[in-house]
Amino acid sequence: MRSVPALVVLVVVAVFLSIMLAPVAQGVPDPPPSDPCTASAGDPEPGTIEWQARDQQNMWCANQRQRDLMANRAHQQAYVEELANWPEPTQLVPKPANRPGFDPFRVPWSRWDGIRGRYLPGWFTLPDGARLHFELFAPLGPCPSRCSPTPEGVRRLRPPYPGVTWMVGGLGQKQQQWMLAQHLAESGYMVLLFDPPGAGNSELSAAGGEDDEDLLAYRFALRQALDFFFSTPDAPTPQGDVNPWNVLLDRRYVGVAGWSLGAISANRVGQLDPRISTVVGWDSCENIVPEWNWAGLLTGCESRPPAGIDSLGVPSLQLSADGYGLSGVPYPRVVPPDPHRLDGLHQKQRAQGVESMQVSLRAATHLDFGPYYVSGTCFCSRYGEMVSLYYTEAWFDYQLKGVTDPKVRKEAFRRLTATVFDDSADEHSIGTGTYDPEVGNVPYRIAELPVADRLSFYFRSGYYLIPDGRTVHSCTDMRAGCAPTS
């Protein structure tokens, strides 16, 4: 009998605390009427009153989205409507008992499929017979006859499409990543989401992990999911499963990615699987370091390269929260943390001459990357999700689409190194945002916001890119405002 890993126990405790301690986080004094979370944070000296005031404001911003959610009547109404109209449980529809919190404006079968993209749920099978529940997302395809108009920012695209297999975090469910799958599908990608063994609609597997460090058999499940993603009628999985949309996938250009424990798994599997072209990790948190939160628990995150792999030749993008650990409750800091605590993988790949990028988000929590862990809660920042989607799309464009299209690669490089956000992420923003009595829900936007003001002032962000295959463009501190240099 495998024991429950300490990290998993910590996740459960952290999620509980994120709810129980929310009033503490919200007890930080309200800021001025204008949004200070979009303003420059400055660089006050550590230990000064100004430095402490900035830290207090950072904590307020780290739970700004929770306040938006509580005040959003349109979200509350849409949530009730979706619950009332939730389909009867079938083999393809999630059971109500297993449904986590979700964004009602992104329910794929009622608000997205056939309107902004294509959606297909189903199952694939593990070697021991356990079934994992999946969801496929793809762009709208060409019409056999006259097409109906598409929403702004949505285009009909011809297959095949580059692909992304995405793994959720520990104890999480794929509904938490609907925003990512829909965003990428609308941008021209085929995306596979799936519930890990024992989570969501997936069955518990007795197969076990690959080794003692394979927490909850996540790496094992991710490899099985990739085999399913690549499967065809002529080359099914050993269990006989075939990707029902196999003809839509361009197998030459596939990335693997994940959030939290899913990111830890993706960072390792992606470096070892020759079918993978690039990796994206959202807040991987391989280690817990001494940093104390409100409840006196050690919850500071540290990101590290995957152990035991000397050569990290597959390019990767890593996005990290502001170091507040696994709960959604920010906590005050007394001294500045190590600015390189979150960029270990980026630094190792940079030293090896491999393209890589680290983006550390200002005022973000672990739940910025997987909101609605519990119904009606999102203890996270207003802008973290949007910034993450912006860089994730740009990275996949750069590493997958851009391989065969120099114009796409050049444009993606511009977005990755820009000092001001464009509207490439805003085009796909349809989820819960702020509330306007006149129009209802107002999805978040980041266009025209300065990049530097969305980056952590505690942890470094940087990149090491070689867009033409010859000239290195390197930045070791994006917040400081360095331009690409050779």
pLDDT in tens, 194-250: 999 988 888 888 877 777 677 678 999 999 999 999 999 999 999 999 999 999 999
The CATH number given to 6-142+151-461 is 3.40.50.1820
Question: Is pLDDT at 42 greater than 50 in this prediction?
Answer: yes
pLDDT given for residue 309 in this prediction: 94
Distance CA 60, CA 25 (A): 7
pLDDT given for residue 22 in this prediction: 39
* Interval 390-416 mean pLDDT: 98
**Secondary structure, 3-state, 126-172:** CCCCCEEEEEEEECCCCCCCCCCCCCCCCCCCCCCEEEEEEECCCCC
pLDDT above 90: percentage of residues in the chain = 69
pLDDT given for residue 259 in this prediction: 96
Q: Pseudo-torsion of CA 451, 66, 366, 299, nearest 10°?
A: 120
Question: Is pLDDT at 26 greater than 50 in this prediction?
Answer: no
**In this structure, what token pair is assigned to residue 2?**
């495998």
How is residue 310 annotated by DSSP?
A: S
Confidence of residue 29 (pLDDT cuts 50, 70, 90): very low
Lowest mean pLDDT among 124-138, 233-247, 315-329: 315-329
Distance CA 205, CA 131 (A): 8
pLDDT given for residue 171 in this prediction: 78
Mode of pairing for the β-strands spanning 462-465 and 473-475: antiparallel
**In this structure, what token pair is assigned to residue 483?**
């331009």
**In this structure, what token pair is assigned to residue 197?**
């063994």
* Interval 98-109 mean pLDDT: 83
**In this structure, what token pair is assigned to residue 105?**
């404006």
Asked if residue 283 lies in contact with residue 301, where contact means CB atoms within 8 angstroms, the answer is yes
Confidence of residue 16 (pLDDT cuts 50, 70, 90): very low
pLDDT above 70: percentage of residues in the chain = 87
Q: Where are the domains of the chain?
A: 6-142+151-461
How is residue 253 annotated by DSSP?
A: E
pLDDT given for residue 90 in this prediction: 55
pLDDT given for residue 285 in this prediction: 87
**Mean pLDDT score across all residues of the chain:** 87
Question: Is pLDDT at 361 greater than 50 in this prediction?
Answer: yes
Lowest mean pLDDT among 18-27, 181-190, 194-203, 445-454: 18-27
More confident: 226 or 302? 226
pLDDT given for residue 99 in this prediction: 55
* Sheet of 462-465, strands arranged across: 118-125, 131-138, 190-194, 161-167, 249-259, 278-282, 316-320, 356-360, 462-465, 473-475
Asked if residue 218 lies in contact with residue 306, where contact means CB atoms within 8 angstroms, the answer is no
Cβ-Cβ contacts under 8 Å for 338 (sequence gap 6 or more): none
* Interval 298-306 mean pLDDT: 83
Query: Nearest 5 degrees, angle CA 453-CA 188-CA 157?
Result: 140
pLDDT given for residue 375 in this prediction: 67
Distances (CA, A) of 117 to 82, 128, 249, 422: 19, 33, 15, 23
Residue corresponding to tokens 């993008």: 317
**In this structure, what token pair is assigned to residue 33?**
């009427």
Decide: pTM greater than 0.85. yes
